[in-house]
Amino acid sequence: MSHTISIRLPEDTKQKLEDRARRTGRSRSAIVKEALEQSLEPEPKAFMAMAGSIDGAAANLSQRKGFTAK
């Protein structure tokens, strides 16, 4: 079963949507549906969103096989 909704778009957003539909040969509805579905995907866990974003770690950190005794 499908449902219909109505939304109001600013003129510039409407124009971008129409341009993309024309350029890709897809319907406006298909483009909006895909964008909505993507925005409703589960959000990644906060720590995964940060993975790889910190600079300055030792260059061989991921290659270490064990810990050295001090």
pLDDT per residue rounded down to tens, the chain (70 residues): 889 999 999 999 999 999 999 999 999 999 999 999 999 988 777 776 677 666 665 665 555 566 665 5
* Euclidean distance between CA atoms 47 and 21, whole angstroms: 36
Q: Can you read off the two tokens belonging to residue 45?
A: 């866990």
- Its domain, for residue 30, covers 13-43
Is the residue at 58 inside a domain? Answer: no
Number of domains present in the structure of the chain: 1
Q: How far apart are the first and last CA of the chain?
A: 66
Q: Can you read off the two tokens belonging to residue 44?
A: 């990644």
Among 10, 39, 33, 3, which residue's Cα sits nearest to residue 21? 33
Is the residue at 24 inside a domain? Answer: yes
Is the residue at 29 inside a domain? Answer: yes
Is the residue at 51 inside a domain? Answer: no
Is the residue at 22 inside a domain? Answer: yes
Is the residue at 34 inside a domain? Answer: yes
Q: Can you read off the two tokens belonging to residue 5?
A: 């909704």
* Euclidean distance between CA atoms 53 and 46, whole angstroms: 12
Is the residue at 65 inside a domain? Answer: no
Full-model pTM: 0.59
